[in-house]
């Protein structure tokens, strides 16, 4: 028998349960009544607010590049993207890729964005660990330098975005050419040094008539840049399209011997690039007997800024720019030295901000021109070449229109098999071969065979 107390408890429990069940129950289908069919209302379009990237953007870059941004486009970028906070970490040029490589291996601590030279980036492109940037580069494919894009591309995907390129030209001293009784206007000089053989003849004339060296070509510590230029301009290099080592191929032997002819003729100085004696030769007056000036330097176009700013600041008006020599008559008179590109390592914590930075700072034509005006870093973006600035005469170079010449050369640079996964190893071994040959320790063939074998052993390539 239920007593009253129990009955009350049961009723209370049932009431509570009914409330709970009602609350949890799915809404039942509304019974269909004869109502006029509802008129379908168009969806209310809410204004789409594109969210801009924000947050911290860590960029690994050499100090000089950071200076260029800070002095030109960075304020505008931060105005456009006020919620992005940039943190720069500076490394030496070749250290950026090393540090990124280590961070990728470790799986932590990668930057959000990095900029360094192609020579270093190409190894990372080959090894993997960089983000695919094809999507942001695609709209600009037709204006970005094809050759440099080649170093950024693997299996059809783009892993770095070219910033600048180093079209190789021959800077020459007008006053030295004048003193040697040679025509010193750019066209005449370009014609006088049409090939390396012509350059050698011109050097001999300069040597005979002025006693001045033609250029610096160190023997013991030579970096091998002249050899690289000679191969690159022919579309060759230290390996072939199948990845086989070619350092000991006959064409490299021939190039080495062509360089040897300059030592044999005794028309060059023994100064080494990027050392004080070389700087002294670049900036020396023609009558300086202690440190005679060199007549030419064949190097990337970025050297123009270095000459103006510090390497030969006293020689304004005396330097001119000519086309580099071709390897053989009618050959290509364009090669590349240096240049850099942007890349985003996998594991970047702020990919959107990094992409925004590349698009704003590097792919925007006006911003790219602004950086070129400031720095002389020659853009790899040909859309910039139509800017009036490229047609302006340069007072330092005797009012020559140098930038148009640089642009012409930049567009002719062929793909050379110099950069790549083993660029550093190949260059170092080729340079050692050149030093061995220059010092008379080995014949050209022996020195290159030794270098090629060392590369094969170290890299596992054939």
State phi, psi for 142 to the nearest 5 degrees: -75, -15
Listed in sequence order, the residues at least 6 apart from 112 whose beta carbon sits closer than 8 Å to its beta carbon are 56, 57, 58, 59, 344, 348, 349, 350, 351, 353, 354
In our burial notation (b when 16+ CB lie closer than 10 A, e otherwise), range 196-220 reads bbebbebbebbbeebebbbbbbbee
92 binds another protein (CB under 8 A): no
State the minimum distance, in angstroms, from the CB of residue 246 to another protein: 17
State the minimum distance, in angstroms, from the CB of residue 127 to another protein: 5
Instruction: Indicate which single residue of 425, 430, 444, 448 sits in contact with another protein (rule: CB under 8 A).
Output: 425
For residue 380, CA distances in Å to 77, 148, 248, 402, 455 come to 21, 8, 32, 16, 31
Query: What is the per-residue DSSP string for 45-70?
Result: -----PPPP-EEEEEEE-HHHHHHHH
Considering only residues 431 to 450 of the shown chain, the ones binding another protein according to CB under 8 A are 432, 435-436, 439, 441, 450
In our burial notation (b when 16+ CB lie closer than 10 A, e otherwise), range 235-259 reads ebbbbeeeeebbbbbeebbebbebb
State the minimum distance, in angstroms, from the CB of residue 316 to another protein: 24
Using the contact rule CB under 8 A, the part of the chain among 84-92, 185-193, 331-339, 416-424 near another protein is: 416-424
State the minimum distance, in angstroms, from the CB of residue 302 to another protein: 22
State the minimum distance, in angstroms, from the CB of residue 304 to another protein: 25
Closest to another protein by CB, 353 or 433: 433
State the minimum distance, in angstroms, from the CB of residue 154 to another protein: 13
H/E stretch holding 129: none
Closest to another protein by CB, 143 or 461: 461
Instruction: Indicate which single residue of 275, 328, 386, 399 sits in contact with another protein (rule: CB under 8 A).
Output: 275
Using the contact rule CB under 8 A, the part of the chain among 71-79, 213-221, 235-243, 294-302 near another protein is: 213-221
Closest to another protein by CB, 204 or 219: 219
State phi, psi for 128 to the nearest 5 degrees: 100, 175
225 binds another protein (CB under 8 A): no
Per DSSP bridges, beta strands 113-117 and 55-61 are parallel
Considering CB under 8 A, how many residues would be counted as binding another protein?
36
Closest to another protein by CB, 178 or 450: 450
* Count of C-beta atoms within a 10 Å radius of residue 227: 25
How deeply is 188 buried, as exposed, middle or buried, from its count of CB atoms within 10 A (0-12, 13-18, 19+)? middle
State the minimum distance, in angstroms, from the CB of residue 166 to another protein: 21
132 binds another protein (CB under 8 A): no
Contact 241, 415 (CB under 8 A): no
State the number of CA atoms in the 13 A half-sphere of 149 facing the CB. 18
Instruction: Indicate which single residue of 118, 239, 417, 422 sits in contact with another protein (rule: CB under 8 A).
Output: 422
63 binds another protein (CB under 8 A): no
**Cα–Cα distance, 207 to 288 (Å, whole number):** 15
| Per-position x/- string for 167-206, each x denoting binding to another protein as judged by CB under 8 A, each - no binding | ----------------------------------------
348 binds another protein (CB under 8 A): no
Rounded to a whole number of angstroms, the CA Rg of the chain reads: 32
| Per-position x/- string for 296-335, each x denoting binding to another protein as judged by CB under 8 A, each - no binding | ----------------------------------------
State the minimum distance, in angstroms, from the CB of residue 422 to another protein: 6
State the minimum distance, in angstroms, from the CB of residue 295 to another protein: 18
Closest to another protein by CB, 411 or 446: 446
For residue 17, CA distances in Å to 2, 5, 26, 154, 233 come to 20, 18, 16, 67, 88
State the minimum distance, in angstroms, from the CB of residue 461 to another protein: 10
Binding site for another protein (CB under 8 A): 98, 101, 104-105, 123, 127-129, 218-221, 270-271, 275-277, 280, 291, 421-422, 424-425, 428, 432, 435-436, 439, 441, 450, 453-454, 457-460
């Amino acid at each position: 028998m239920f007593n009253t107390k129990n009955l009350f408890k049961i009723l209370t429990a049932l009431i509570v349960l009914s409330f709970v069940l009602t609350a949890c129950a799915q809404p039942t289908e509304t019974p269909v009544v004869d109502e006029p069919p509802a008129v379908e209302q168009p969806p209310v379009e809410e204004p789409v607010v594109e969210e801009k990237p924000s947050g911290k953007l860590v960029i690994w870059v050499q100090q000089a590049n950071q200076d260029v941004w800070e002095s030109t486009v960075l304020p505008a970028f931060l105005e456009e993207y006020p919620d992005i906070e940039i943190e720069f970490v500076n490394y030496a040029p070749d250290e950026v890729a090393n540090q990124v490589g280590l961070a990728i291996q470790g799986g932590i601590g990668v930057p959000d964005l990095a900029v360094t030279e192609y020579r270093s980036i190409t190894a990372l492109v080959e090894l993997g660990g960089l983000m695919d940037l094809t999507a942001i580069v695609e709209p600009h494919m037709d204006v970005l330098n094809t050759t440099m894009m080649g170093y950024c591309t693997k299996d059809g995907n783009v892993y770095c975005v070219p910033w600048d390129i180093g079209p190789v030209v021959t800077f020459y001293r007008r006053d030295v050419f004048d003193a040697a009784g040679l025509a010193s206007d750019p066209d005449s000089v370009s014609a006088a040094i049409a090939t390396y053989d012509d350059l050698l003849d011109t050097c001999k004339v300069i040597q005979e008539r002025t006693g001045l060296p033609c250029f610096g070509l160190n023997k013991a510590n030579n970096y091998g840049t002249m050899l690289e230029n000679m191969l690159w301009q022919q579309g060759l290099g230290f390996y072939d399209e199948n990845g086989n080592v070619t350092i000991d191929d006959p064409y490299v032997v021939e190039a080495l011997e062509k360089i040897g002819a300059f030592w044999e003729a005794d028309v060059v100085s023994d100064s080494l690039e990027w050392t004080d004696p070389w700087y002294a030769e670049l900036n020396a007056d023609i009558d300086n007997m202690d440190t005679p000036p060199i007549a030419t330097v064949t190097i990337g176009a970025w050297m123009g800024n270095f000459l103006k700013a510090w390497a030969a600041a006293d020689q304004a008006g005396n330097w001119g720019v000519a086309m580099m020599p071709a390897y053989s008559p009618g050959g290509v008179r364009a090669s590349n030295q240096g240049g850099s590109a942007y890349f985003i390592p996998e594991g970047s914590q702020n990919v959107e901000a990094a992409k925004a930075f590349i698009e704003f700072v590097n792919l925007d034509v006006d911003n790219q021109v602004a950086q070129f005006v400031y720095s002389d870093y020659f853009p790899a973006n040909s859309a910039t070449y139509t800017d009036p600035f490229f047609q302006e005469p340069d007072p330092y170079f005797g009012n020559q229109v140098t930038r148009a010449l640089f642009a012409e050369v930049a567009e002719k640079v062929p793909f050379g098999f110099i950069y790549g996964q083993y660029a550093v190893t190949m260059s170092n071994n080729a340079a050692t071969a050149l030093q061995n040959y220059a010092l008379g320790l080995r014949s050209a063939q022996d020195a290159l065979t030794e270098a090629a074998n060392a590369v094969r052993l170290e890299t596992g390539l054939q």
